[in-house]
Amino acid sequence: MKYHSLARSADNIPDLNYKTWEKRNLVSRLLSVLAGVFSFLCVLPLIAVLAYILIKGMSTFSLDLFTQLPPPPGGEGGGFGNAIIGSIVVTTIAALIAIPIGVGGGIYLAEYSTGRGFSQFIRFGTNVLAGVPSIIAGVFVYGVIVSTRILFGNTFSAIAGGTALSVLMLPTVVKTTDEGLKLVSNDLRRAALGVGASRFVTVSQITLPKAFTPIATGVVLSIARAAGETAPLIFTALFSPFWPNGIFDPIATLSVLIYNFAAQPYDLQNQLAWSASFILVVFILALNLLARWLGRFASK
Amino acid sequence: MTASSSPESVPSNLDICLSIQNATISYGDFEALKNVFCDIPRGQVTAFIGPSGCGKSTILRAINRMNDLIEGCSLKGRILFDGADLYSPDVDPVEVRRRIGMVFQQPNPFPKSIYENIAFGARINGYNGDMDELVERSLRQAAVWDECKDKLKESGNSLSGGQQQRLCIARTIAIEPEVILMDEPCSALDPISTLKIEETIHELKKSFTIVIVTHNMQQAVRVSDMTAFFNAEAVEGGSGKVGYLVEFNDTDKIFNAPLQQATRDYVSGRFG
Amino acid sequence: MVALILISILVVVFWGSLESMGRYGLNFLFTSNWNPVDDEYGAFTAIYGTLVTSLLALVIAVPLGVGTAIFITENIIPLKVRNIIGLMVELLAAIPSVVLGLWAIFILEPLIRPFLMFLYEDLGWIPIFSTEPLGPGMAPAILILVVMILPIITAIARDSLNQVPMRLRQAAYGVGATRWGAILNVILPAAISGIVGGVMLALGRAMGETMAVTMIIGNSNVFSWSLLAPGNTISAMLANQFGEADVSQLSSLMYAAFVLMVLTLLVNVIAQWLVKRLSLKY
């Protein structure tokens, strides 16, 4: 026998005990410890980041943040009420654009297309679009809307910003709609068609409601992502130190504010950046938890 | 409720390889199998038969500690292998599986080449002899050498179902265990492959102790020397069933002159 | 509609970069002199920065992410703890880039500066450590990129590992493998195609990452081999200069954006090819 590992003890009982010092057991334990260390390192940044945001953000938390305008460099006090409203406005615009187009596209892919060349191309395109860096989306919208002054002669505007964000949201919404609809079993569809419902009615009243949860989850998550994006907004919605003046003008947003204020050499601005981060992160985490809670309904 | 082997059918000079002593297996709070006593003789084929859900696969997996992979599974009682308690806290399950091999219901070759499928097990157990020779020997013993010898470098998945299962048998033999456990090895195969594997079992019996779980009573008759019949009864005050050992005896006694009514009903096809 | 948008993005960027392409041709890719004042542009520093930061971030993040994924999917520690770790890594993904940039400037960079100083002082004869770390630079940028791509790698690796069917695990343990013997020899290879897909996805994400990088990389177009020096990436450059660029600078920026798009596309295509190549049939 060329195996040496079948040891037996003195009275011929097989020796099955765990040999702590055998090489492969040592290696195994070492690797487990290493994996544990790696996991710890992964979790560490999250804790560190959240901790600092909490500490620095809460230290100057006051109602002023919601009601006041940003102070000029070197100035005193102030808040970023305009940025909060601005973020909400821009994100809403983005959602209003992305959701209909995205859900529509997803419905087309899952329900109407034949599964051949064209829809494969669309799916491929969606995947590629998902990989496009956010700044390129901003550049693109800049080229199309801002520099051409296509919107009634305005350049930087909230609408431009919302459009750029919707470009980022689109692939996710299409994908989750597509997959959510694919999960609905075909029996349901055939049953509806069997009682004489048209394709359109089937989709809108039977399949879509059934797939509501995964679609809603995807939408909420993409909104959360859009809310935090900065790059697309820098040269589309720009920034404004004033209260929002309609959607055809530049508008302040939390993310751009953080970007601008982080770079300035004044403590006050830096502090405001932390406070804004705090509020933004709370908002995004809330959306994420909402999506997770929604996701629980999917399994029912 | 349980019946150990009766004195006349197990001569006292029979060498006992595995001794299951009052084993009760639970998944969490749910008892799957209770109070099993069974002494499995060395060098023979023992079959576990019974209706679905009576726990025969569960007790089989307990023998080589595969139940460790299932969260929440626990065992009360003892299983002795040549006198060593398999579930003692010092025991390394890896060592147990080294000596007690297993062939599964679904053929599961590694996604590697045929050669590597066999070499892998040998290598991790410290084999330092001629690997080519080991591969050929194992494949021959599993009666699949002729179909494999020209494509040793191809993936194990390129074989048919029956061939894959024999490859899995070869893989198990290669590490030279003392016991081979087989969990319904033919249930996913066609009749011809099944026959080939049964022939292989007859050959393997000369070098290994074999315990086979099977749904197929004719197979138990063809292949085994001893048979254990398990059944399941409803749990009082709860849902679900718990399994138990009804009778354990020579195969021809179980099928021609069973002592228990339940056994008689099952082997005559009244239920199951 | 999606296809339309994709194509139109390509067209717009390409169109905008035509002027600059006409002027510099391929040299654009290899000169590092970026001077709006003199109206001279060469994107080499930025391209180099994009590639180096992304690849180095990947080198660090892949072992961390895959190791964590293995730790979460095997039963080395109780299930509840594993779920919490998984949750925390996912939450990391939700933090906006700009917030991470803020954290990088004020917390991360000062934290690692002593270590970088040590590298400069003791190992400064090695070219990659040859400049004095004075604040923003490539090194903190690489670290913050690691933080950003970790969640993707971990999540995808975890999903790939979970998808390895139970019967393969049983087969591995059945022939007497130890836990890590089974992981390294059977389970990991079976999951490798999914993991590689995730890694490439992370690479694409790292290359396009803008905000956090731009806030901490120093935005310098002067080329240097040193990792401790300030540098630039294409996306950071775009973010910085786009708002106030004049026409010819704009065109050069568009050219750079086009290069970035080509790079990301390339990564995507290679990713799909690799995944197909590596898929083990089981």
AA letter at A120: Q
Average pLDDT over every residue of C223-249: 75
B24, β-bridge pairs: B76
Distance (Å) of CA B133 to CA A259, B118, B121, B222: 68, 11, 15, 32
Measured over all CA atoms, what is the biggest interatomic distance in chain A, rounded to whole angstroms? 96
- Is residue C270 scored above 70 in pLDDT? yes
In this structure, are residues A92 and C233 in contact, taking their beta carbons and an 8 Å threshold?
no
* Locus of tokens 């500066």: C113
Q: Closest by alpha carbon to C96, among A218, B19, A53?
A: A53
Per-residue confidence band for C4, with pLDDT thresholds at 50, 70 and 90: low
The model's pLDDT over B149-176, given as tens digits with 9 standing for 90+, comes to 888 998 888 889 889 999 999 999 999 8
Per-residue confidence band for A266, with pLDDT thresholds at 50, 70 and 90: confident
Best residue in B94, B95, B117 for a mutation probing chain C (most C CBs within 10 Å): B94
Per-residue confidence band for B5, with pLDDT thresholds at 50, 70 and 90: very low
Looking at CA atoms only, how far is residue B256 from chain C in angstroms? 35
AA letter at C274: L
Q: Closest by alpha carbon to A58, among A225, A288, A281?
A: A281
pTM more than 0.90: no
Per-residue confidence band for A300, with pLDDT thresholds at 50, 70 and 90: very low
**Which range among A231-240, B15-24, C24-33, C269-278 shows the weakest confidence by mean pLDDT?**
C24-33
Whether A135 sits inside 8 A of C235 (CB atoms) is yes
Give the 3-state secondary structure percentages of chain C, helix then strand then coil, rounded to 5. Answer: 75, 0, 20
Residue A122, classed as helix, strand or coil, is: helix
* Pairwise pLDDT comparison (C246 vs A25), residue with the higher score: A25
Question: How many distinct helices (H) and strands (E) make up chain C?
Answer: 12, 0
**Which range among B40-54, B110-124, C36-50 shows the weakest confidence by mean pLDDT?**
C36-50
Question: In angstroms, rounded to a whole number, what is the distance separating the alpha carbons of residues B21 and A294?
Answer: 50
Q: Would you call C74 an interface residue with chain B, using a CB distance cutoff of 8 Å? A: no
What tokens does C24 get?
Answer: 């510099």
Span between the terminal Cα atoms of chain A, in Å: 57
The model's pLDDT over B56-82, given as tens digits with 9 standing for 90+, comes to 899 999 998 999 888 888 999 999 998
Q: Which helix (H) or strand (E) holds B37?
A: strand B30-41
Average pLDDT over every residue of C151-156: 88
Whether C178 sits inside 8 A of B171 (CB atoms) is no
Residue B116, classed as helix, strand or coil, is: helix
Residue B38, classed as helix, strand or coil, is: strand
Please count the other Cβ atoms lying within 10 Å of the Cβ belonging to residue B72: 11
> Which backbone phi and psi does A3 adopt, to 5 degrees?
-95, 140
pLDDT at residue C28, as a whole number: 58
Residue B128, classed as helix, strand or coil, is: coil
**Which range among A98-102, A127-131, A132-136, A288-292 shows the weakest confidence by mean pLDDT?**
A127-131
Q: Would you call C83 an interface residue with chain B, using a CB distance cutoff of 8 Å? A: no
Whether A2 sits inside 8 A of B99 (CB atoms) is no
Q: Would you call B133 an interface residue with chain A, using a CB distance cutoff of 8 Å? A: no
For the sheet with B45-49, list strands across it: B84-85, B73-81, B16-27, B30-41, B241-250, B226-234, B45-49, B209-213, B179-183, B100-103
Q: Would you call C277 an interface residue with chain B, using a CB distance cutoff of 8 Å? A: no
- Is residue C99 scored above 90 in pLDDT? no
Whether A25 sits inside 8 A of C178 (CB atoms) is yes
Sign of the alpha-carbon dihedral angle for C194, C199, C204, C205: positive
Angle at C113 between CA C111 and CA C115, to 5 degrees: 95
Q: Would you call A34 an interface residue with chain C, using a CB distance cutoff of 8 Å? A: yes
**Looking at chain C, which residue has its C-alpha nearest residue B154?**
C281
Per-residue confidence band for B179, with pLDDT thresholds at 50, 70 and 90: very high
* Locus of tokens 């933004």: A280
pLDDT at residue C94, as a whole number: 82
Angle at C226 between CA C224 and CA C227, to 5 degrees: 120
The model's pLDDT over B26-60, given as tens digits with 9 standing for 90+, comes to 988 888 888 999 999 999 999 999 988 888 899 99
Per-residue confidence band for B226, with pLDDT thresholds at 50, 70 and 90: very high
Q: Closest by alpha carbon to A228, among A255, A193, A205?
A: A255
| DSSP per-residue codes, C151-169 | HHHHHHHHHHHHHS-HHHH
Average pLDDT over every residue of A128-145: 74
What tokens does B173 get?
Answer: 């033999």
Q: Which residues contact C148 (CB under 8 A, 6 or more apart)?
A: C97, C100, C205, C206, C209, C212
Looking at CA atoms only, how far is residue C85 from chain B in angstroms? 19
Q: Which helix (H) or strand (E) holds A87?
A: helix A81-107
pLDDT at residue B1, as a whole number: 40
The model's pLDDT over C158-202, given as tens digits with 9 standing for 90+, comes to 888 888 888 899 999 998 888 888 889 999 888 888 888 888 888
Task: Read off the DSSP letter of residue B5.
Answer: P
In this structure, are residues C152 and C194 in contact, taking their beta carbons and an 8 Å threshold?
no
| Dihedral over alpha carbons A72, A163, A294, A213 (to 10 degrees) | 170
For helices A267-298 and A254-263, give the axis angle rounded to 10 degrees.
Answer: 150
- Is residue C135 scored above 80 in pLDDT? no
Q: Helices marked H in B175-258 — which ranges?
A: 191-204, 217-223, 251-256
Q: Would you call C89 an interface residue with chain A, using a CB distance cutoff of 8 Å? A: yes
Q: Which helix (H) or strand (E) holds A105?
A: helix A81-107
- Is residue C54 scored above 70 in pLDDT? yes
Which C-chain residues 19-58 have CB contacts (< 8 A) with chain A? none
Q: Would you call C181 an interface residue with chain B, using a CB distance cutoff of 8 Å? A: yes
**Chains B, C: CB pairs < 8 Å:** 67
